Structure 1
Amino acid sequence: MKLNRQALLNHLRDPEEKALLAKVLDGVDKVLRHHRPLVTNFYDPYHTGLIISLLERFPDLDFATFGGYDTAERVRIAIFPNYLEEAAVDFGISLLAVEGNFKMVKVNHRDFLGSLLGLGIKRELIGDLLVNESGCQVATTQEVVPYLTANLTKVHRVKVEVREIDLSELILPELKIKEINTTVASLRLDAIAAAGFGTSRSRIAREILSEKLSVNWHVCSELAAPVKEGDMLSLRGRGRVEVAEIKGNTRSGRISVVLRRYL
């Protein structure tokens, strides 16, 4: 199968996104030619949605996502022939604990990420970072584990030790969820997104038209696209909003909805 790259990429305006999907197409070509699975780097929900939208155009392929644990935000995407089962695919993810005495030093996500990137590790090789009292737990690719365990020795002037851990040792943070009870004029994407992300419809319209918003991990640039109960909206840099419940019409003719914003 010969890939029509021009037709698949020409609609993209962002050069970085075009470069990303061109790289994914290289992977697609390898899978189609060699009939072997391929796993991408880690990507956030927005870029994951872009990649999934592209992969859905290939009927001979299947794909799956995983970030080291079920609720991970940053995930790797496995691309494989559609006759294979997902269970046969190795995502190549390792979990690391970066531990030190942080009782007297306040550190955050940025500190740990900065120390990792300072070693020359690309962001795409790092998944979620879960900060806890003793340090941080990191999802990463198996290939960089030996390098990190040998070279990551300090975070914000605090000496650390790095060890590989099992999924059972992972400490998941408590999700902060803001429940929004509101009414909207319609179940259009722009109306629901504006209510969920706390902004005006004109501003959210610009974000949607710029292809910065995904519905169920698929980029959607249609302002009037219908939204239904259970849909998950992701806005680049602004988190996620779930359409938790659609209650029905109010006396004034508006629609009562319950939205959950994940902070």
Structure 2
Amino acid sequence: MLAKVLDSVERVLKQHCPIITNFYDPYHTGLIISMLERIPDLDFATFGGYDAAERVRTAIFPSYLDESEVDFRISLLAVEGNFKLVKVNHRDFLGSILGLGIKRELIGDLIVTEEGCQVAATEEVVAYLRANLTKVHKVKVEVREITPAELTLPDLKVKEINTTVASLRLDAIAAAGFGTSRSRIAREILSEKLSINWQSCSDVAAQLKAGDILSMRGRGRVEVAEVKGNTKSGRIGIVLKRYL
């Protein structure tokens, strides 16, 4: 991925025109940004179709250009059908899209709604999706382009957890954040079902710090919002934010 980005950097510097990457999650976007920050005469910006998007495209452009001049070439789509009697989720919609042979990097966030799902995608796959995405979980669907004003922004519920842990190990903090036992969360970690900053981790003893984000399939996300320090009993006070 970074090699492709470096190729794009060379093209930007030679041709003096913006280049847009595919969609990437926050972890991989962070790798891209950390590399671009060290290259002179370049500027960059990220966008995923709406301000709070998790998966974003990175625009790479000459430093003399303004971000407002850059087109991220993102289309917003609504995938709609009669889902009143059929329970579907994010995985069902994503599976149907990828089942058409579309690469994950060409698709941004998916927002599940009562009518179906709203999707951020690169412009080049829009026509293909509209023509070929006809069913999701055996329910007939129609795909249409929508404006940013029609987007249903995800309503995340945030639960703040003030607690103490014996250490800043992954298993200890994840157990407190997801509300389960350390032995059970350890099994989930060893099965690589839990990620730190969107990177899969199977090390139960991995050390965490403030700002780290844990995500687990089907369980949402937990942010290590604050590490307060040791209590009188020798435990460590922390503040967690769980996004449901």
Normalising by structure 1, we get a TM-score of 0.72
Q: Please report how far the alpha carbon of residue 48 of structure 1 lies from its aligned counterpart in structure 2 after TM superposition.
A: 1.3
Q: Please report how far the alpha carbon of residue 67 of structure 1 lies from its aligned counterpart in structure 2 after TM superposition.
A: 0.8
Q: Please report how far the alpha carbon of residue 152 of structure 1 lies from its aligned counterpart in structure 2 after TM superposition.
A: 1.4
**Match for residue 71 of structure 1?**
52
Q: Please report how far the alpha carbon of residue 38 of structure 1 lies from its aligned counterpart in structure 2 after TM superposition.
A: 0.8
**Match for residue 24 of structure 1?**
5
Question: Using the alignment, how far apart are the partners of 1:65 and 1:196 within structure 2?
Answer: 30
**Match for residue 213 of structure 2?**
233
**Match for residue 51 of structure 1?**
32
- Asked if the contact 1:46/1:235 (under 8 Å) is kept, the reply is no
Question: Using the alignment, how far apart are the partners of 1:29 and 1:144 within structure 2?
Answer: 26
**Corresponding position: 1:135 with 2:93:** no
Question: Using the alignment, how far apart are the partners of 2:19 and 2:216 within structure 1?
Answer: 26
- Asked if the contact 1:213/1:236 (under 8 Å) is kept, the reply is no
Normalising by structure 2, we get a TM-score of 0.77
**Match for residue 99 of structure 2?**
118
**Corresponding position: 1:103 with 2:80:** no
Give the aligned length: 223
Pair 245,114 (structure 1): closer, same or farther in 2 beyond 3 Å? closer
Q: Please report how far the alpha carbon of residue 234 of structure 1 lies from its aligned counterpart in structure 2 after TM superposition.
A: 5.5
Question: Using the alignment, how far apart are the partners of 1:194 and 1:36 within structure 2?
Answer: 47
Question: Using the alignment, how far apart are the partners of 2:70 and 2:128 within structure 1?
Answer: 24
Q: 1:197 aligns with which of 166, 174, 198?
A: 174
SS of match in other structure, 1:42: coil
- Asked if the contact 1:102/1:158 (under 8 Å) is kept, the reply is yes
- Asked if the contact 1:73/1:128 (under 8 Å) is kept, the reply is yes
Question: Using the alignment, how far apart are the partners of 2:12 and 2:153 within structure 1?
Answer: 34
- Asked if the contact 2:73/2:123 (under 8 Å) is kept, the reply is yes
Q: Which runs of 5+ in 1 are unaligned?
A: 1-19, 218-222
Pair 75,253 (structure 1): closer, same or farther in 2 beyond 3 Å? same
* Cα deviations by residue, 1:19-72 (Å, 9 ceiling, x for unpaired): x11111111111111121111011111211222222222132221111111111
